[in-house]
Amino acid sequence: MKVILASPRGFCAGVNMAIECLDLALKSFGAPVYVYHEIVHNKYVVETFKKKGAIFVDDLEEVPPKSILLFSAHGVSPEIRKAAKDRDLTAIDATCPLVTKVHLEAIKFAKLGYTICLIGHEGHDEVIGTMGEAPEAIVLVETEEDVDKLEIADPEKLAYLTQTTLSVDDATRIINRLKARFPEIKGPPKADICYATQNRQEAVRILGSEAQLVLVLGSQNSSNSQRLKELAKESGISGYLIDGASDIQREWFEGVENVLVTAGASAPEDVVQECLDYLVEKFDATIETRSIREEEVHFPLPKELRKLVSIT
């Protein structure tokens, strides 16, 4: 068996920053450190931090007053920020700057009186946070069919934004449908889908043609990881989303000679290596790393955390 190891894969700059934040908070302040929602959507990462003393909550009522609280990489609404302040919590904002960019665009369009079509998945933490910036102005759009059902009072004051972790192809189809229905619609100055999401999808699109099966390391609640699996299947290739080697089923590989291995933006390299070790042991696989582009993006730690731990 030949394994093509896709690059770039795994952690993006936003995930790296969020994980560094939580690591540093635990080292600096000790356990417990509370986190609103999962720090990133990855089972392995969350379980690792639980063992270190992080407590993940979905309701701020669970957080004792005056505690240290981290906002996850997916961002939160102004309502949650206010609730944290009211409980006298020391809040550290680990929101990915590319998510913050979408929040600021939503605020800008809403102040100008625009109706905003937010292209995304209902219930996703990022979408909930973004919609919370201007709930009266934002309409969620998940499909092209949703576009056809839209009733807009003033089509000349209409804008669109997107969740950062969508399928590029799906988002493009929805945006094109919006532009066809509403020619005056405005979009963000720069596309909202993040660089890492685009790069990992591009790698599967380019390298997947050389494989009969794609393994995506990532958790089921990871939007960008799900898109990688879907992209493989749309190309007519078997695709599986797994948390680690223990999820692999040997029957998947019957008649398979070439396997593409990649990882979603919240999956750590440890689980990738574990998967590769399994394939080498069970199938005598050879590994070939193939890079489609380099990533050199880095986000600094939040100012409030640097100040708290006296980092300059």
Identify whether 142 is a catalytic site residue: no
Which of the residues 38, 126, 133, 230 is marked catalytic?
Answer: 126
3-state SS track over the chain: CEEEEEECCCCCHHHHHHHHHHHHHHHHHCCCEEEECCCCCCHHHHHHHHHHCEEEECCHHHCCCCCEEEECCCCCCHHHHHHHHHCCCEEEECCCHHHHHHHHHHHHHHHCCCEEEEECCCCCHHHHHHHCCCCCCEEEECCHHHHHHCCCCCHHHEEEEECCCCCHHHHHHHHHHHHHHCCCCECCCCCCCCHHHHHHHHHHHHHHHHCCEEEEECCCCCHHHHHHHHHHHHCCCEEEEECCHHHCCHHHHCCCCEEEEEECCCCCHHHHHHHHHHHHHHHCCEEEEEECCCCCCCCCCCHHHHHHCCCC
Tell which phi-psi region holds residue 255, choosing left (phi > 0), alpha (psi between -120 and 50) or beta. Answer: left
What is the biggest distance separating any 2 CA atoms in the chain, rounded to whole angstroms? 62
Known catalytic residues are 126
